[in-house]
Amino acid sequence: MVFSRDGRLLAFVSDVQTEQGIPATAHRLTRLLYRHWDEWRDRGRHHIFVTTVNGGEGRDLTPGDFDSPPTQQEDNAFAFTPDGRDLVFVSNRDGIDREAWSTNNDVWSVSVAGGEAKKLTSNPAADVQPVFTPDGRFLIVRAQRRAGFESDRWYLDVYDRGEGNRRTVFETPDGHTIFFTATSNGTDNLYRVPLDGGTPQEVAHGGSISAATAGDSFVVFSKATLTSPAEIYRGTLGDAAAPALTRPPRALTHENDAWLKAMSFDTPTSLTVAGAAGTPVQYWLLRPPGFDPSRKYPIVFLIHGGPQGAWDDAWSYRWNPALWAAQDWVIVAPNPRGSFGFGQRFVDDISQDWAGKVMQDLDAVFDAAISLPYVDRTKQGIAGASYGGYAVNWIIGHSDRFKVAVTHDGVFNIESMALATEEQWFTDWEFGGPPTSGKARENYAKFSPHLFAQNIKTPTLVITNELDFRVPVDQGLQLFTALKRNGVPSQALVFSDEGHWVLKALNSKLWHETVFGWMKKYLSN
C-alpha cells in the first residue's frame, strides 16, 4: 500500500478472481505458477487498485491475466510519480506459463486514471523496486543482468524521464546521492553513492542495517545483530569528503532493553578458514552463555538456505544461533560457496555444483571448529533448512561424523522436486536447464541425496510442511521413508498449516521443543 505525495490517492494490491464456478475443494490448473510459496494461485491474480483517501470504489490499474506485481516481488513493487499523475509498478508479462521460468520482471507505468500500461525497462533480466528522486526527473531501479538467475548481482539503474536514457550508478554522471544497504563479509552495512557515479562509501557498519531513510543531514535506519533484535537508530551525516556518520548512531527506540539486560550472550566471533582451492570461507562462532573454557562442549553446525544466502550478524525469530548456543552448545554458522557478501563469483560458484566446492568449504569449517580446545569432537550435530536441509541430506549420506541431524524442508530427490516446485527458473538455473534436458538430468544423477540414502546412519529428525510449494512435502516424506526402511533412528514433524517456514507461534514453540529435544537426546549421551 502506498500513498501519493499529496496524500490524496492510495494504491494497494488485491487479488482478482479469474476462475469461477469451481467447487471449493478442487483446483483446475490451466497454467504454471498455479501455486507459490504457501498459497494456491490458480484462481486469481494480483492487481493494483487506486482509490481516493476519502473513500470511493477502487479502480483496477493493471487488468489482465497477469500478476502486477509478481508474487515474488510484492515489497516496494509500485510507486506513485511525485506529481501523482502516474503509477509505476513491476510485472512479468512474458506470457502464460513462461512466467514460471522467466525472471524478466519489468517496470511499467500507467495513468492513475487508467489506460494502457507502458513498459519502461527493456532489460531481459529482473527490474524491481522503482524509486523516484524528489523532483521526479529520475527513476531508480534495482536491476540484474543475467536472465533466469534470481541471485544475480544487483545494480542501480537510473532512468532520465525527460531524456529517456538509462545509466548505471557507479558508471556515469549526475549529482545527487543514493543511500543503499549491501552485504559484505557477514554484515549488512549502509552505503551512499553520488547519482553521478563514483565509489560507494560506507556510512554505517552493521550488524544488520535495513530500511534506511535519509534527510539533508541525518539518516534513520533499523539495526540488529546476532544477539539483539532490531531497534531504530538516527545518525548525523558527514559530507562527501567524510562520508561516515560524524558520531556513533543514537538509538531512538529501546523496545528490547529490559529483557536483554536479563539475558546473557557470548559475543559472536567471525573467523575464516581456507576452503576449496584455498578460497577464504567466513563463519560465525557463538559460545554458550556463561562459557567456561575449561569445559568440553558439544558443537552444532547450522547450514543456511538459498543456496544463495548468508549467515549475517543479524537477529532471527526462526533459526536464531544465539538461542541454539543457549542450549549449552558451541554453534558454528558457516558462509560457504553460494553465500552473499563475498563477491558475485563466490555466489556463482554453487550453481550446478551443489555438492562440489561448497562441501569442501563446509568440511574445512567443520575441521577447524572441532579443533578448538573447548569442543568435544565426539559430539557433533548438524542442522539446516531449505538448501541447508539439502546439505544435511547430502552430508549424512557421505559421512558418519555427526551424532545427530535435523533437516527442515530440504531437497532430497532433485529430479522429482524439479517438476513439482513452482519457480521453474530456480531449478533451470541451478541444474543447467529445463527438468527434461540432458544437462539437468546429468546434475540430478550427480547431486541428488536420495541416490546415497542407503549410506545414512545418522539419527535424523525430518521436518516438512504441507503448504511448502517451494520444496514440496514429499521431499521430506521420501527421506523419512528411506530412513525407516534402512532402520535409521528417525522422526518426522509435518505441519499441515505451514509453508517453507514455521511462522505460527504455537507451531514455532513445538518446532523448537522438538528440534532441541532431538539434538539433546544424542548430544547429551
- The residues that are catalytic are 386, 468, 500
Please provide the DSSP assignment of 263-306 as one string.
---PPPEEEEEE-GGG-EEEEEEEPPTT--TTS-EEEEEEE-SS
Give the containing element (helix H, strand E) for 512: helix 505-523
Q: Integer distance in angstroms from the first to the last C-alpha of the chain?
A: 53
CA dihedral sign, ordered 436, 441, 447, 450: positive
Q: How far is CA 366 from CA 286, 294, 304, 370, 374, in A?
A: 14, 21, 15, 6, 14
Q: Dihedral (C-alpha) 442, 447, 451, 456: value to the nearest 10 degrees?
A: 170
Please provide the DSSP assignment of 89-101 as one string.
EEE--S-TTGGGT
Q: Which three cell numbers stand for residue 439?
A: 544437462
- The pair phi, psi for residue 224, each rounded to 5°, is -135, 170
User: Which positions ≥6 away from 227 have C-beta within 8 Å?
Assistant: 265, 267, 268, 315, 322
Tell me how far apart the alpha carbons of residues 123 and 450 are, in angstroms, rounded to a whole number.
39
Tell me how far apart the alpha carbons of residues 271 and 464 are, in angstroms, rounded to a whole number.
32
Count of CB atoms within 10 A of residue 103's CB? Answer: 27
Tell me how far apart the alpha carbons of residues 410 and 363 are, in angstroms, rounded to a whole number.
19
The one-letter amino acid code at 503 reads L
Q: Which three cell numbers stand for residue 522?
A: 544424542
Count of CB atoms within 10 A of residue 395's CB? Answer: 25
Residues facing 224 on adjacent strands: 208
Tell me how far apart the alpha carbons of residues 354 and 412 are, in angstroms, rounded to a whole number.
12
Tell me how far apart the alpha carbons of residues 426 and 433 are, in angstroms, rounded to a whole number.
10
Tell me how far apart the alpha carbons of residues 188 and 32 are, in angstroms, rounded to a whole number.
35
Please provide the DSSP assignment of 320-384 as one string.
-HHHHHTTT-EEEEEE-TTBTTS-HHHHHTTTT-TTTHHHHHHHHHHHHHHTSTTEEEEEEEEEE
Written in H, E and C, the secondary structure of 151-218 is CCCCEEEEEECCCCCEEECCCCCCCCEEEEEEEECCEEEEEEEECCCCCCEEEECCCEEEEEEECCCE
Tell me how far apart the alpha carbons of residues 354 and 368 are, in angstroms, rounded to a whole number.
22
